[in-house]
Every structure is written in structure tokens, then in C-alpha cells.
Structure 1
Amino acid sequence: MGVSTEPRTHSGFPTGFRGAVLRPGDLRYDATRALYQGRAADEGPALIAQCVDEKDVATALRYASAHAVPVAVRSGGHGSDGYAMPGGALVVDLSAMRAVTVDPETRVVRAQPGVRLGEMDAAAQRHGLAVPAGTVSNTGVAGLTLGGGIGFLMRRHGATVDNLLACDMITVDGRKVRADESENPELFWALRGGGGNFGVVTSFEYRAHRVGPDVVAGQLIFPFDQAADILRRLPAHLATAPRELGLLVAIAPAPPLPTLPEEVHGRPVLVLVVVHTGEPASAHEVVEPLAALGRPLADLVGKTTWVRANSMLDAVAPYGMRMNLRGGYLPALSADAVDVLLASVAAAPSNPGAFCTINLSFMGGAISEDVDEDAMAFSREGAAWLWEAISKWDAPAYDAQYDQWATALTEAMRPHALTNGYANLTDDLGEEWRRGVHGSEAKHRRLRSVKAAWDPHNLLRFNKNIAPEAHAL
């Protein structure tokens, strides 16, 4: 196939569309369809409509609705499933819609769907503010928000959706609507955790909080042979932890840092990733006891900025590698669950240019205690920890090895995990999982009813899909 240097118009696609329209063979097609999930490159969409504004979004959706063409939505492209660029689909690409504004008086941040987390952090921090969000700076705010949004501020200020004030959305038939607590409240309920199932959100309004600019953050790195003892003692140690403490525990290959002995480079280590957003002078009261849980190989915790702290995981989240992602909520970090996770490290495949990481996010505080379970679609009931297993590799020949490892670990963790979960931090695990991830059966039925009201023909199906309630059609 020859390569066209100009975007072409899909057969019958509206000529009034202002953005570029890309098809296979166009010069920028392959670069545009690159995602965080490298396996998405195995297939390509039929058409990528690169929207520059809400009118373009409405035009693309009206076209798709009129022709019964299924739609995928690409914002930041960070989803682990690669749903943003599925084979044969029409992709509504929002990645160029990247305006973010901050009102320092009302502490409201407004972001378009293409905004990346690092961009929102930087804009808000210019006014001493932050929106509770994720932990990797190239994550798109849209998918993060619509799935729930957890990170280092969740214990202090809740999930991203707990701080979402309003959304503007384009419906599948091209209308613009607003959703908040008073206008389209049922839609607003569903958008806070139900993902991109109901329409295409073109603007998010968030409540921001005073954070930084200085925080105390970094990593405590321990030898792997201390992991079992530290993890078994950690829950009791954290029972009185202040809400200002954000903590992620990682079991990962040691990076080649000069502060680490060369013999541990590339071998598993236990890492406590600490972010303390309270008064810097009091951080030592929290950090020093964590370091004393074992004998650290390195103590890299110190005073830094919020923007740097919230991007320190970027190095272990490379864009474009093949990957799988599994995870779920734990009601407690039990000794049996710890044993399963540590055993999985020993059983992990080992190939050049590949790695496996186990993460444990400490919950509690605002995300667990301040919002009623039924207040929105996002579920957090009963969750004390979030476990996550990430595999990344380059060669398609390794796909089966890493998929089998992830599946075996998921099954082994099932007796220790809750049936509800955080949809963003796991691949789609099928219909039974989708029925339970938002919590109760009543919440699932409510989501299906909202889906039927706003997308009755399931045009937006390339996602962790909520099927429209049949009798509501």
C-alpha cells in the first residue's frame, strides 16, 4: 500500500469536520495510533477522527450514530486494554483537546479530555493547588477520572471522582449536555466510575486542594529477603497513619542506581514509595518508623516538590511496551495474600527487556471513609489495599508466558480479594467481573439503566462495557 501524505476523508464523512481524518496508509496514521499498551499496535482502526473542539466531537458522533458505526474514544491512550485504538473502529481522538484552566479563588480546575496528569499538576501547582489523581504523569485525565482515579492524595482528599464537580458531555447523537449534582444527576452518578460508556466527555471540573509546593517523598528500598517480614508487620504499623501519608508498596526489579549495590541491580527488591503532603517538618515522624521496619539498602526519601513526587513512577511506566495488568481490592493485607504475591515473584517469567512488578496501594482515610458507597458508580466498599500486577515486554513471542503468569496470579489471589474493584487498574476480566466491579447488583442494574438512556445501541462499546438494559430500550 502506498503512503498518502495528506489525511483523507472517510467515505461519506462530513467535510465540515475541522480536524485531521486519518486512515490506514496515511503518513501519520501509525504514529497516531500508538498507545501505552503496545499490543494495540497489532490491529488498526478504520478511521481516526482527530477532534479539535466539541463541534468536531459532535460531528463524529452524529456520523457514527447515523451509520451505526461502533466508536472508540482516545484521550490519553493510557488504558491497559488498548481499547482506544481497536481494529476496524472509528476512533474519536481527543488527544489534541488539552486546555486546562485554574481558578485560584474558587479552587476549581477545568480540563479538556486530552490533558495529561502532569499538565494538570503543573497548572494547579502554579497556584499551590492539586487535584487528587493518578501517579504517572502521561496518564490522560479523562480515562483516569471516568474510572475513579486513585493516587497519593486519595487518603487525604479522596478519589478523583470524589472531587469531580461537573462534566460536559457530547451524546451519541451529537448533543451537548451538562452533568452535575443538579443537572442530569443520574448521568453524573454513572460518569463517576462507569467509564466511557455513556457519551464523550469534553470537559471536567474538579475541586482542587492546597498541596505543596514542598512535600516529603521518595523510596525506601529493602532487600527482597526482608519483604515477607516487613509486609506482615506493615498493616499494624499503618493502623494510626495520618491521612497525609500516601504509600505504594512495590516488589520490582532493582534499578541500576549508584546508591544500590551492583549485585542487586535487576533483582527483586521491596520498595516503599512514600509521599507525605503534610507539614514537611513532621514527615520524619511518619517516615523514620517505616524505614525502621527493616534494614534499607537505600533511603531516598527527602524534601521535594509535589510535581516531582507525583511523577517519580514515570520511569517504571514506559509508553508503548506490550503489557498485561491485573489487580483488585483486598479487605486486608493478610499473611496468606502476602505469601501468594511473593511466590508469584519467584514464578515470574524472565526475558530480556521485560519485567514484572507487584504493587500494593494503601487505602483508608478519605477514599474509604468520607463518601458513601452508593453515592456514585465507583466502588471502594471494604477495600483496605489495592493489589496490582504489571508485566511489560517487547516481543510478541513472550505474550503467552506473561498472560499465563498474570492469569495464574489472579486465580491465586481470588480467595483473598473482594469482588468489587478499581476498573482502571486491571485488564477487562469478562462479564462476571464487569457485573461485580462496581459493587452491588443494584448498582450494576442502575448503570445498565443509565446506559440504555444515553447509549441504547451500545455505540460506545470499546471499553469495560456496560450493556444497556434491554427492557429500558
Structure 2
Amino acid sequence: MSEIQILTRRGTVVSLQLEILDNFKNQFRGTLLKHGDEEYDQARKVWNGTIDKRPALIARCRGAADVMAVVNFAREHQLAISIRSGGHNVSGAAISEQGLVIDLSHMRSVQVNPRERVARAEGGALLGDLDHETTAFGLAAPVGVVSETGVAGLTLHGGTGWLMRKHGLTIDNLLAVEIVTSDGRLLRASADEHPDLFWALRGGGGNFGVATAFEFKLHPIPESITFAMPVYPLEMAAQVIAGCRDYMNDAPEELMVLGTYWSAPPIADIPEEHHGKPVVILLGCYSGPAENAEKVTGPLRSLAEPIADLTSAMSWKDLQRLLDEDYPNGKYYYWKSIYLDRLDEAVMAVMEEYARSRPSPETSIDIWHMGGAMSRVEPTATAFFNRRIPFMVAIEANWSERADSDANIAWARALHKALQPFSSGGNYLNFPGYVEDQDAMLRGAYGGNLERLKQIKTKYDPDNLFPGLLNIKPG
């Protein structure tokens, strides 16, 4: 084979001579993979098993210089590109069908300066990589809730997690981003350098370049964190969810809670007759003083008679890995999100109805209690706009057999539609479905910040080389 067929940004397919690729390899220290290469099939996979795309080329980078070389190559040949960072990818946007994938998955280094309480993570790092290094010094960055999540994707779209009520979103603790822009330059974006780009990167996704490193402000974390996990029967869902809602109105910001409609796991601590049955579980992370843990988490565990109480104390690193086994690599996933203005009986009735009709017992409906530090940041202070909404619902359809895909996706979409009467709009882009109805998603995610994002896109990526998860087109 003397050439490969590859997609351009105009949507046409062109022939790229292998001689051109050989010349490019002289500027590239990483690995360039194409159909037929030994590592190609593994490299094209992402965490979500529903994604089955075949890019023409995968450029596996080893450092920022490699990224610069690939960006220049893609711009010169007008190639369609995608960016794979951690690869914990729900929507599949990380893999460009018949295009060029800029792969940072081998760039996972993390360094911590404990004196300054700052961590620097490369663009392909996972949350577990970051947690491993920071917890050695009794520190943590406010990030997501599954350790195999990619740092880059989580951060660039906001970053919700166990510490967000106390310390804000991940982007609220971001000090700088090193990024390769469409002209092939490596820039440092911070409050002092390219502040307009730094504003856009805090929520604007991968629209502005390839983020090769992130710097985070770290916070002291207790050696032992109390994680409340009472399990209630679904019949008590309305009482439990309403009680949790009322309690969280005045709860200390060290407490973050998810209310989850799910299935009772088949473990010894839960009576066997409940195994696999629909339940409501409260997941409450308390990161405050240990002596106050019982007082703070106790009310969550006595809202009704629980089936079981799985509350325990653990380290931050163990907490971050607690949910990993429920989200294994290669399972089938379809996740959507919606913000809710209220959490009343009508809303809970819809969620209970859909909890009973889930096609897969692995599926969950998660209620995130927002507020606290993240809500005190002005909506215009960063690109992330939806800061004043009290609740977010994550619709997590998870299943194990490809043949069940249509039923599970249809269920998630139907629930999303059923919840719309209780929402004034908005969506969280780390739970984006397959990015359907892009115009509505853009307006919902960015609100009044969208026009400024378009202006910054025009400045740093005027030819729209970087489509991002949700493409912000130049103004």
C-alpha cells in the first residue's frame, strides 16, 4: 500500500502518500499507527464500548513537541482531527472516523510541589494518576468521582466531584493550561498569560487547541474521609430524596451528596432478598473534621428505615477508586444530563417511574446536589455558565450486551425528555449523550458566554481546526 485514505476538514476523503508520512515521522518522536499495524486496534478503543470507529491515522504523542508537529501536519494537509487524552470518553468524540487522532494517552506524568500546593498533570493523565501523587503529601485537587476518568476532558468541561461544594469545580482550581494552538505554538494560558484563552478553556472544551498539561491548586485533605452510603428501598424514594434535599439546604459545604436510583448490589452487607432490586442510595462524601462526621452524615442515614448502611471511613485515594468497578472499560454507556430548577414530588415521580422501567439493572439516575463554592463564582467569570442551578440529574444508561443498545439509549432519551418540563435549560458536557442537537446544547451549556467564546475561537482557531466535543465555530 503506497497511500492511505484520510478524511479532510471539508468532509472529503483524500489520498495521502506514504512518502509524506515517512517525512512526517522524521519530526515525530512518538508512534504513528494506521490500519494493519499491531497496536492499531487497541489504540482506537476508548472506555465506552459503544464506540467502534476506525481512524486513518493515530499519532501517539510522547510530549508537547510531538503535539506541535502533529498539529502542523494536520493544518498543512487540512485533515479532520480529534483529540484523545485520557480516553474515558462517553460520546466517542475522541476518535475521528477515518481522520487523524492526536493521542496523548501515553503522556501521564504528574508532578507535585507540596510547598506551593500545586500539581502539574500532563494531558493524558487520569484522575488516579493525579490522586496518587497528591495524596502522598496529604493534598487533593477537586476532580471527578471515578479514578479512571481523564484529567483533560473532565477539566475542560468544568469538573464536578466530591469537593466541589467546598472548593468549587475543577476549573475553579485550575491555575494554568499548556496548550498547542492551531498555528502550532505551545502557549501557557493563565490569569496573567493569554487570559482570554484561559477564560475560554475553563469550560469551553477542546475547541481551542490540544491541552498538553494542567496546573492545579491543591487543598489539604484529611487522612480519613467519611463516606455515607445508606441503601433504602425504592418504595421510600420520595421520602428519602425529599429529606436529603431539605437537609442539604443548610448542610456544611464539606458534605457533597449524590442521590442515586440504582439496583442493590449483590454483596454480603445487603440482605439477599434485595439483591438486584431497585433501590435509592445516598452517596455522601464528608471531608470535614472527623469528630463531626457522625453529626453531619447521621441525618442522611436515618431518613427512613434503610435496607443496609454501608457507611465507612477511607482515604481519599480509596474513595476515588470506590466506584471504578461499576464503570469498567469496554462496557456500553450512554449518558445524558439535565439541570433541574426544583426537586419536588412531580420530579421524583418521574424518576421513580423510570427507575422501575430501566432496561438494565446497571443503569442509574443520579441527582447531584449543587451549590456551595461553585455557585459563588459569577457565571461570566469562566466559560462554564450553569452555576446557580440547584440540581443536576445524570442519566447513566449502562449495559453489557451490544444487542441491548437501542433499548437503553431510547430509555435514557425518554427520561431526558420527561424531565424537561422541570428545567429552565442547560446541560453538563461531561454527560453529553452522542452530542445530539448541537445548537441547543451550545446554548444550554454556555448561555450568555457563547458569543465571547466565538470571539476567542476566532482569535486562536480561525479555521476551526479543533472541533472539540461540541464545536464552537469562529464568529
* TM-score (normalizing by structure 1): 0.93
Q: 1:435 deviation in Å? A: 2.7
In the aligned structure 1, how far is the partner of 2:161 from the partner of 2:274? 28
Change over 3 Å in CA distance of 1:65–1:318 after alignment to 2: same
Partner of 1:254: 264
Q: Which secondary structure state, in structure 2, belongs to the residue aligned with residue 56 of structure 1?
A: helix
1:450 to 456, 461, 464: 456
In the aligned structure 1, how far is the partner of 2:372 from the partner of 2:110? 28
Partner of 2:74: 64
Q: 1:396 deviation in Å? A: 3.0
Q: 1:344 deviation in Å? A: 0.9
In the aligned structure 2, how far is the partner of 1:383 from the partner of 1:211? 27
Do the aligned residues in 2 keep the contact of 1:37 with 1:322 (CA within 8 Å)? Answer: yes
Do the aligned residues in 2 keep the contact of 1:323 with 1:391 (CA within 8 Å)? Answer: yes
Partner of 2:207: 197
2:20 to 7, 12, 21: 12
The amino acid of 2:72's aligned partner reads: R
Do the aligned residues in 2 keep the contact of 1:328 with 1:418 (CA within 8 Å)? Answer: no
In the aligned structure 2, how far is the partner of 1:50 from the partner of 1:79? 17
* 1:101-120 equivalences in 2 (<5 Å): 101-120=111-130
The amino acid of 1:434's aligned partner reads: M
1:25 to 36, 48, 51: 36
Residue 228 (structure 2) pairs with residue 222 (structure 1): no
Q: Which secondary structure state, in structure 1, belongs to the residue aligned with residue 269 of structure 2?
A: coil
1:390 to 396, 406, 429: 396
Q: 1:79 deviation in Å? A: 2.2
1:291-327, CA deviations, whole angstroms, 9 ceiling, x for partnerless residues? 1101111111122111111221112212112221111
Residue 42 (structure 2) pairs with residue 36 (structure 1): no
Residue 161 (structure 2) pairs with residue 151 (structure 1): yes
Residue 100 (structure 2) pairs with residue 90 (structure 1): yes
Q: Which moved more, 1:159-168 or 1:302-311?
A: 302-311
Partner of 1:310: 320
In the aligned structure 1, how far is the partner of 2:362 from the partner of 2:286? 28
Q: 1:429 deviation in Å? A: 3.0
Do the aligned residues in 1 keep the contact of 2:228 with 2:300 (CA within 8 Å)? Answer: no
The amino acid of 2:114's aligned partner reads: P
User: Which structure 1 residue ranges, 5 or more long, are not aligned?
Assistant: 2-7
Do the aligned residues in 2 keep the contact of 1:49 with 1:93 (CA within 8 Å)? Answer: yes
1:327-365, CA deviations, whole angstroms, 9 ceiling, x for partnerless residues? 121222222111111111122224xxx631111111111
Residue 142 (structure 2) pairs with residue 132 (structure 1): yes
Do the aligned residues in 1 keep the contact of 2:230 with 2:308 (CA within 8 Å)? Answer: yes
Q: Which secondary structure state, in structure 2, belongs to the residue aligned with residue 166 of structure 1?
A: strand
Partner of 1:364: 371
1:68-91, CA deviations, whole angstroms, 9 ceiling, x for partnerless residues? 001100011112101111311100
Q: 1:48 deviation in Å? A: 0.4
Residue 440 (structure 2) pairs with residue 433 (structure 1): yes
The amino acid of 1:24's aligned partner reads: H
* 1:265-284 equivalences in 2 (<5 Å): 265-284=275-294
In the aligned structure 2, how far is the partner of 1:11 from the partner of 1:456? 30
Partner of 1:296: 306
Q: 1:395 deviation in Å? A: 3.0
Q: Which moved more, 1:115-124 or 1:308-317?
A: 308-317
In the aligned structure 2, how far is the partner of 1:232 from the partner of 1:34? 41
Q: 1:24 deviation in Å? A: 1.4
Q: Which secondary structure state, in structure 1, belongs to the residue aligned with residue 83 of structure 2?
A: strand
Q: Which moved more, 1:230-239 or 1:248-257?
A: 230-239
In the aligned structure 2, how far is the partner of 1:118 from the partner of 1:324? 23
Q: Which secondary structure state, in structure 1, belongs to the residue aligned with residue 51 of structure 2?
A: helix
Q: Which secondary structure state, in structure 1, belongs to the residue aligned with residue 137 of structure 2?
A: coil
Q: Percent identity?
A: 37
Residue 347 (structure 2) pairs with residue 340 (structure 1): no
Q: Which moved more, 1:58-67 or 1:27-36?
A: 27-36
1:105-148, CA deviations, whole angstroms, 9 ceiling, x for partnerless residues? 11111110111101111111111110000000000101110000
Partner of 1:5: none
In the aligned structure 2, how far is the partner of 1:204 from the partner of 1:29? 28
Do the aligned residues in 2 keep the contact of 1:116 with 1:140 (CA within 8 Å)? Answer: yes
The amino acid of 1:360's aligned partner reads: I
The amino acid of 1:59's aligned partner reads: A
In the aligned structure 1, how far is the partner of 2:77 from the partner of 2:116? 43
Q: Which moved more, 1:189-198 or 1:424-433?
A: 424-433
Do the aligned residues in 2 keep the contact of 1:340 with 1:412 (CA within 8 Å)? Answer: yes
Partner of 1:355: 362
Q: Which secondary structure state, in structure 2, belongs to the residue aligned with residue 283 of structure 1?
A: helix
1:287 to 297, 302, 321: 297
Partner of 2:10: none
In the aligned structure 2, how far is the partner of 1:291 from the partner of 1:190? 41
The amino acid of 1:25's aligned partner reads: G
Work out the number of aligned pairs and report it.
457
Q: 1:28 deviation in Å? A: 0.8
Partner of 1:4: none
In the aligned structure 1, how far is the partner of 2:246 from the partner of 2:111? 42
Q: 1:11 deviation in Å? A: 5.2
RMSD: 1.6
Q: Which secondary structure state, in structure 2, belongs to the residue aligned with residue 69 of structure 1?
A: coil
Q: 1:456 deviation in Å? A: 1.8
* 1:42-57 equivalences in 2 (<5 Å): 43-57=53-67
Q: Which secondary structure state, in structure 1, belongs to the residue aligned with residue 291 of structure 2?
A: helix
The amino acid of 1:12's aligned partner reads: I
In the aligned structure 2, how far is the partner of 1:53 from the partner of 1:145? 20
Change over 3 Å in CA distance of 1:10–1:160 after alignment to 2: farther
Partner of 1:418: 424
